[in-house]
Amino acid sequence: MSPYPASPRLKCAACGYEGPLERPPMECPRCGEEWLDVVYDYESVSKLWPEALRNRPFDMWRYRELLHVKDDANLVTMGEGGTPLLRAINLGLMLGCPHIYIKDERQGPTGSFKDRQASLSISFMKELGITEAVVASTGNVAISYSAYSALAGIKLWAFLTSLVPPEKMREVALYGSEVVKVTSTYDQTKQVAAEFAARRGIFRDRGIRSISARESMKTVAFEIAEQLPQFIGPGNGTPWRTPDWYIQSVSGGMGPVGVWKGYQELMQMGLVDRMPKLACIQAAGCAPMVRVEPVLNPQTLVITIATGNPGPAYPFLAHVIKEHGGAFEAVTDEETFHAMHVMAKLDGMSMETAAATAFAGLFKLLNKGVIKRDDVIVVNCSGHTFPVEKHLLGDEWARTIEVPEAVPHIALPAEEGLLGSLEQIDKRVHSIAILEDNPQSALLLRRILQTRGDYQILEARDGAEGLALVQRERPDLILLDLMMPGMDGFEILEALKADEELSKVPVVVVTAKDLTSAERKRLSGQIEALMQKGAFTDEDLLDEILKRTV
Ligand SMILES: Cc1ncc(COP(=O)(O)O)c(C=O)c1O
Ligand SMILES: [Zn+2]
C-alpha cells in the first residue's frame, strides 16, 4: 500500500515559505499571501504510479497521492472524474482538424467539471470536521457542492445571483441546500456570502483561493495526459502526453489554473515532456481577462461564466500565457449559441451554454490562425444542466436578498445597502441536540435537519457527553438514541427529569432497539415521540420536530 498522500506541504509562491498542511490554511504564516499551494513528494510518487495506477479505477481518486486529504475515511466520492476523452470526428472533419478531443465533463455526477472540486473540497471539509458551509456560485459549483454536502452531512448555504437560470437554482434546492438569491451580480453575491459567513462564523469556500479547488482541477490534466496516448501515442520519451492546447470557457479561472499545476507536476515526475498552451475563452459581455479590466455590469446570457472580477487567477494566467503562449479570447453569445448547435448536430453532444463558449472560442482561434489545424487540441466540455421540474419544490425553496440598485462595487459599511440586506435572512430558529453514538446515523439525522429550516445542530457521541451538552446548551429539542455506551438513553431521560428546566425540553427518541413492554412503559410520559430506525422517512421525522419547535 502506498503511504498516501505523499506528505502534502504548504507552499507560498510569494515568499517561498514551506510548512505542514494542518488547519484550513487561509494565508501564508510568513507573508500573509492568500494564494497557497500544496506540494508533494513527487519523486516517490513517480516511482509508485507506473505500477500502482494500473490497478486503480479510472476516476479522480486514482491520483490519490497527489490529493491532499489525509484519511480515506473522509473521502466524499461519487465516482467523479475519469470522464471520457472523445475524438470530435465530424467537427474535426469539417474544420480540417484531425486532433480535436473533447474532455467530456458532462459525465460527472452532477453534470459538470465542478464535481471534482466538490468532491475534494467537501472531503477536506469533512476532514476538518465542518458541518455547515457557505458557497457563492453562478450555478454549477452550488449544484455540485450541494450534492456532495448531502452525502457528507454538511448544511450548505448557496448564494446565487438571481440571474442564474431557474433550472440550476432548482437543482440546488432539490439537494436540500439553502438557496439564497441575491438580486445583483456574481461579484456582489460573493461579497454578501462572505459577510453572511463571517457574521455567523460559518466556514466559507474561498473559490479559487482555496487549495482544494486548484488541486481538484489538476486531475483534468492528469487524465488528459493519460488518455491522449491511446489516440496519438506517448510524448517524447515520456509515457503520457500533453496536448498542444487546453481550451476552456473561463469564469474565475480555476480550471486552467489547476490544469496548469497538473502539467507542472507531471513534468516534475517525468510523465510528460512539455506544457500545453492554455486558451481561456470568455463571453464578450463579461470578458475581464480579455479586456484586462473588471466588468461591473456583465452583459451576457451565459451567466455561469459571468465573473466580472476574476481576482488572482488573472495575473497568474496572464503570466503563463505570456511566457508559454496561449490565448485569452472573447466570443459573443450568438457565437456561443451557434457552437452549441453545431456540437449537438455534428458530434451528438448537447451542452450548456457555458461549455459551448469554449467551442466558440476554438472556432475563433482557428479562424485567426492562432491555433493551427494540425495542433493537438483538447476542449473541456465543462457541463450540462439537469432540468428539475418546478412542481417538485413547492413555492418556498429560495430566499431572496434584494440589493439596492446603485451600490458601488467596493465594500460598503456593514449596516447599509448590500450587506444590510442580509438581515432579511439573518435569524436562526431553534437548536436541536442529536445524542447518537453511531456516526452514520448521526449524519443522517443531521442531514434531515439540514434540509429544512435553519436549525442550530448540536451533537454528542455518547451518553455522558450528551448530557453535558444538553445541560450546557439547553437545546429546544433532543433527538435521543437509546443504546449508547456509558450512559444510555434511559439514564439520560432520568437525568433530564431531575432538572426542573430540562425536564420541559421535548425529547424524540430515535432507536434501532425493539423495545420490550417494560421499556415502553419506562419511556411513556417522558418522551414526545418514538421513531423506530428504518421505519420513518425524513418527512415523518421533520413533522415530529416541526410540531414541537414552532
Ligand atoms: C460549465 C462551466 N464551464 C466553465 C466554467 C468556468 O470555470 P472556471 O473559470 O472556474 O475554471 C464554469 C464555472 O462555473 C462552469 O460551470
Ligand atoms: Zn508567503
Residue pLDDT, tens place only, 47-65? 999 999 999 999 999 999 9
Buried b (16+ CB within 10 A) or exposed e, 223-253: bbbbbbeeeeebbeebebbbbbbbbbbbbbb
Question: Three cell numbers at 240?
Answer: 503520457
Residue pLDDT, tens place only, 450-477? 988 789 999 999 999 999 999 999 999 9
Q: Choose the residue to mutate in 103, 113, 160 for probing ligand 1, maximizing ligand atoms within 8 Å of C-beta.
A: 113
The Cα–Cα gap between 358 and 373 comes to 17
Nearest atom of ligand 1 to the alpha carbon of 114: 16
Q: Choose the residue to mutate in 305, 340, 359 for probing ligand 1, maximizing ligand atoms within 8 Å of C-beta.
A: 305
Task: Name, in order, each residue with C-beta under 8 angstroms of 370's C-beta and a sequence gap of 6 or more.
Answer: 327, 329
pLDDT for the residue 397: 85
Q: Are the C-beta atoms of 34 and 27 separated by less than 8 Å?
A: yes
- Ligand closest to 36 (CA) is 2
pLDDT(487) > 50: yes
Residue pLDDT, tens place only, 123-141? 999 999 999 999 999 999 9
Nearest atom of ligand 1 to the alpha carbon of 258: 11
Question: Three cell numbers at 252?
Answer: 474565475
For ligand 1, residues with CB inside 6 Å are 112, 114, 138, 140-141, 249-255, 304-305, 352, 354-355, 382-383
pLDDT for the residue 215: 97
pLDDT for the residue 425: 72
Q: What are the Cα distances from residue 482, in Å, to 83, 259, 497, 505, 516? A: 45, 50, 16, 17, 13
Q: How confident is the model at residue 426 (pLDDT cuts 50, 70, 90)?
A: low
The three-class DSSP label of residue 441 is helix
pLDDT average, residue stretch 430-439: 95
CA of 407 to the centre of ligand 1 (A): 26
pLDDT for the residue 127: 94
Q: Ligand 2 being an ion, which residues bring their Cβ within 5 A of it? A: 12, 14-15, 17, 28, 30-31, 33
Q: How confident is the model at residue 414 (pLDDT cuts 50, 70, 90)?
A: very low
pLDDT average, residue stretch 400-421: 62
The three-class DSSP label of residue 32 is coil
The Cα–Cα gap between 366 and 94 comes to 12
pLDDT average, residue stretch 297-320: 94
Q: Choose the residue to mutate in 106, 114, 282, 359 for probing ligand 1, maximizing ligand atoms within 8 Å of C-beta.
A: 114
Q: Tell me which of 213 and 389 has the higher pLDDT.
A: 213
Q: Alpha-carbon dihedral of residues 296, 299, 301, 302, nearest 10 degrees?
A: -50
Residue (of 121, 255, 122, 251) closest to 186 by Cα position: 251
CA of 19 to the centre of ligand 1 (A): 31
Question: Three cell numbers at 44?
Answer: 516517490
pLDDT average, residue stretch 362-383: 98
The Cα–Cα gap between 457 and 256 comes to 38
The Cα–Cα gap between 505 and 507 comes to 6
Residue (of 228, 103, 205) closest to 156 by Cα position: 205
- Ligand closest to 30 (CA) is 2
Determine phi and psi for 207, rounding to 5 degrees: 55, -130
Sign of the CA dihedral with 252 first, then 258, 259, and 264 last = positive
The Cα–Cα gap between 181 and 138 comes to 11
Q: Alpha-carbon dihedral of residues 440, 443, 447, 449, nearest 10 degrees?
A: 120
Residue (of 330, 340, 376, 337) closest to 97 by Cα position: 376
Cis peptide bond prior to 5, omega within 30° of 0: yes
pLDDT(1) > 50: no
CA of 68 to the centre of ligand 2 (A): 19
Residues in a beta bridge with 456: 431
pLDDT(216) > 70: yes
Q: Tell me which of 136 and 397 has the higher pLDDT.
A: 136
Q: Alpha-carbon dihedral of residues 307, 311, 312, 317, nearest 10 degrees?
A: 40
**By percentage, how much of the chain surpasses pLDDT 70?**
95
pLDDT average, residue stretch 68-82: 96
pLDDT average, residue stretch 329-340: 97
Tell me the angle at which helices 140-152 and 166-174 cross, rounded to the nearest 10 degrees: 10
The Cα–Cα gap between 181 and 402 comes to 8
Residue pLDDT, tens place only, 281-297? 999 999 999 999 999 99
Q: How confident is the model at residue 143 (pLDDT cuts 50, 70, 90)?
A: very high
pLDDT for the residue 394: 80
DSSP codes joined into one string, 462-514 = SHHHHHHHHHHH--SEEEE-S--SSS-HHHHHHHHHTSTTGGGS-EEEEE-S-
pLDDT average, residue stretch 95-124: 97
- Ligand closest to 114 (CA) is 1
Residue pLDDT, tens place only, 156-192? 999 999 999 999 999 999 999 999 999 999 999 999 9
Write down the pTM of the prediction: 0.91
The Cα–Cα gap between 29 and 280 comes to 32
Q: How confident is the model at residue 534 (pLDDT cuts 50, 70, 90)?
A: confident
Task: Name, in order, each residue with C-beta under 8 angstroms of 154's C-beta and a sequence gap of 6 or more.
Answer: 122, 125, 126, 130, 131, 132, 133, 450
Nearest atom of ligand 1 to the alpha carbon of 137: 14
Q: Tell me which of 22 and 69 has the higher pLDDT.
A: 69
Q: What is the mean pLDDT of the chain?
A: 92
- Ligand closest to 314 (CA) is 1
The Cα–Cα gap between 443 and 445 comes to 6
The Cα–Cα gap between 468 and 472 comes to 6
Rg of the Cα atoms in the chain? 25
pLDDT(320) > 90: yes
pLDDT for the residue 519: 93
pLDDT for the residue 427: 65
The Cα–Cα gap between 19 and 502 comes to 47
Residue pLDDT, tens place only, 7-36? 889 999 899 999 988 776 788 989 999 999
The three-class DSSP label of residue 508 is strand
